[in-house]
Amino acid sequence: MKAPRGDEREKDGQGVAADIAAERGRVDAAAEFSRLADRYLDTAYRLASVILGDPTEAEDAAHDAAVLAWRRFDTLRDRDRFEQWFCRIVVNVCRDRLRHRRRHPIVELPSEDDERGGLAAPEGAGQLLARDALDRAFVRLDPDHQIVVALRFYRDLTVDDIARRLEIPAGTVKSRLHQAIARLRAELERQGWREEFPDEA
């Protein structure tokens, strides 16, 4: 068997060194990703739970977002922006799930009380019913509108921050917010609720 020449040995040595460096880089990246993902997992999970309204589904969404984020981790140049970047992925995953829900809606059957009608709400249950009405109205919103509302009123982000995170124009964020609130208001009124302003209270 022919012995490898000196330059081939050198080339092989370089190749092995490159492989080792690549593997070390991958291990380093994995460690850094695990650290960052663990650090911002709470934020991502809570945001997903607010948008989706279902802790179990939020878990799946956060996990899917982590898989996607790991796949694209090498495209993230500035690791200091991991939180915003990861949250954007979470939001996108949630949007996909909301759209999937709209395509496969769960139809609620009317309760016996609704069918009978005229049953007055018990004392102290008004707040609960109001939340229930909000829940129904929120679910009817477009997924893009739901996300903007969640970021605005749950995360208390400004319009510009939302625009930056979603990579859409600020005008679009304003328009979506405006439309979302108007639709929520209309839906609540349709359900028989009316808004109470501070001077009315």
Question: C-beta of 82: minimal distance to other proteins in Å?
Answer: 14
Give 33 or 163: the residue with its C-beta nearer to other proteins.
Answer: 33
Task: Fill in the DSSP letter of residue 198.
Answer: T
Cα three-residue angle 181-174-137, rounded to 5 degrees = 20
Place of tokens 């977002």: 65
In angstroms, the CA 81 to CA 76 distance is: 8
Residues at the site binding other proteins, with contacts judged by CB under 8 A: 26, 29-30, 33-34, 37-38, 41-42, 44-46, 49-50, 53, 55, 58-59, 62-64, 66-67, 70-75, 113-114, 117-121, 126-127, 129-131, 133-135, 138, 149-150, 153-154, 181, 184-185, 188, 191-198, 200-201
E-only strand ranges, 121-190? none
Residue 2: φ, ψ to 5°: -75, 130
Q: Nearer to other proteins by C-beta: 6 or 105?
A: 105
Taking the least distance from each CB to other proteins, the nearer of 2 and 103 is 103
Residue 171 CB, nearest approach to other proteins (Å): 20
In the bound state with other proteins, the residue whose beta carbon lies nearer, of 65 and 166, is 65
Closest CA to 48 of 37, 38, 61: 61
